[in-house]
Amino acid sequence: MLLIEKFVVLSRIVLLSSFRNMARKAEIQLQNTPADLISAVKFAPVINKFLLVSSWDTTVRLYDIVNNTLRHKFYHASPVLDCAFMNSTKTISGSLDHIVQLYDLNALVETLLGNHDAAVKCVEHSSKLNAILTGSWDRTVKLWDVRAKECVGTYEQSNGKVYSMSSIEEKFVVATSERKVLIWDLRKMDHYLEQRESSLKYQSRAVRCFPNKEGYVMSSIEGRVAVEFFDPKSEVQKKKFAFKCHRAKENDIELIYPVNAISFHNIFNTFATGGSDGYVNIWDGFNKKRLCQFHLYDSSISSLCFSDDGSTLAIACSVMDETQNAPKPPSEPTVYIRYVNEQETRPK
């Protein structure tokens, strides 16, 4: 009996060790991460092993997440507020000093594309137009022809600074500082198609379009997320809704955290949200369900990005401005790579 009991105990130890190793493999922490707040994490299109990271330490970094190595690092003269891949070898980034900059990863060459009259808050590559979109605190959106290296359109609007924006094929959505949502058709940018009032009462933080082009999801500083639809028909608009999230109770007091980041799973149309509570949630927006919640991270979630194939989620943790309700003591900026499974991301 003693031998059998020892065998059972050893088997349990081996099994527990195996589960722990699996947990470690499911999530890794990148090495050589930025020294200041991480503003954006973006996966390369198609090639899911490369991740672009921009930061307030003035750098844009390219990582090989498979080998956990820093491949390239280049600089702006001031904090970098957003970055994006144009393709697998070229990137674009925007900074606090109004600059829009290109970088060729093969040639290791930086090129000044142009500038705004204030900080460049958002950059996007439009595969529909093969062009660059930038949004600024100067209250304009600009469209750039990279081949000609020139701005081909400046679209002013009186609805506040650009805080977040997202495009999917011909759809282009901009969230502003004055709680307005502007919807453009990229094929006809002379004027936006629609201006909406945000259904969230407080300042917008992030907006992302559904991969299936049916609508968009936006978040606010007040622990809420709204699911909206493009189709103006009343029967479709009845389906829109908003919900509370990234909140906690402490001594019977509700703590409310900003929802800083949203990223969609391209296959399942589910989405992840990251908050200043240090948590990441996965949601099924069509069925109004939370699918799962990951463990508590080091600090506020400042940015999220699913890879194109949906197998991997990049999670950026940075100390932000919500220190009074911080989930943990302040820590250095970190980027986690989580290999997600279908149980976490597929609608139920």
**pLDDT tens by residue, 203-223:** 999 999 999 999 999 999 999
Whether pLDDT at 56 is above 70: yes
**pLDDT tens by residue, 316-334:** 999 986 555 555 555 789 9
Task: Tell me the pairing of strands 194-197 and 180-185.
Answer: antiparallel
The CATH T-level fold of domain 29-344 is Methylamine Dehydrogenase; Chain H (2.130.10)
| Listed residue (340, 244, 212, 347) closest to 286, CA to CA | 347
Query: Phi and psi (nearest 5°) for 323?
Result: -75, -25
Question: Which residue shows structure tokens 């996966």?
Answer: 43
pLDDT recorded at residue 327: 54
The pLDDT-based confidence of 1 (bands split at 50, 70, 90) is: very low
Tokens linked to 120: 């460049």
pLDDT recorded at residue 62: 98
pLDDT recorded at residue 348: 86
pLDDT recorded at residue 330: 55
The pLDDT-based confidence of 249 (bands split at 50, 70, 90) is: confident
pLDDT recorded at residue 5: 44
> What average pLDDT does range 4-22 have in this prediction?
39
268 Cβ partners below 8 Å, 6+ apart? Answer: 310, 345, 346, 347
pLDDT recorded at residue 149: 81
Most confident of 22-26, 243-247, 248-252: 243-247
**pLDDT tens by residue, 82-140:** 999 999 899 999 999 999 999 999 999 999 999 999 999 999 999 888 899 999 999 99
pLDDT recorded at residue 252: 87
40 vs 28: CA distance, rounded Å:
18
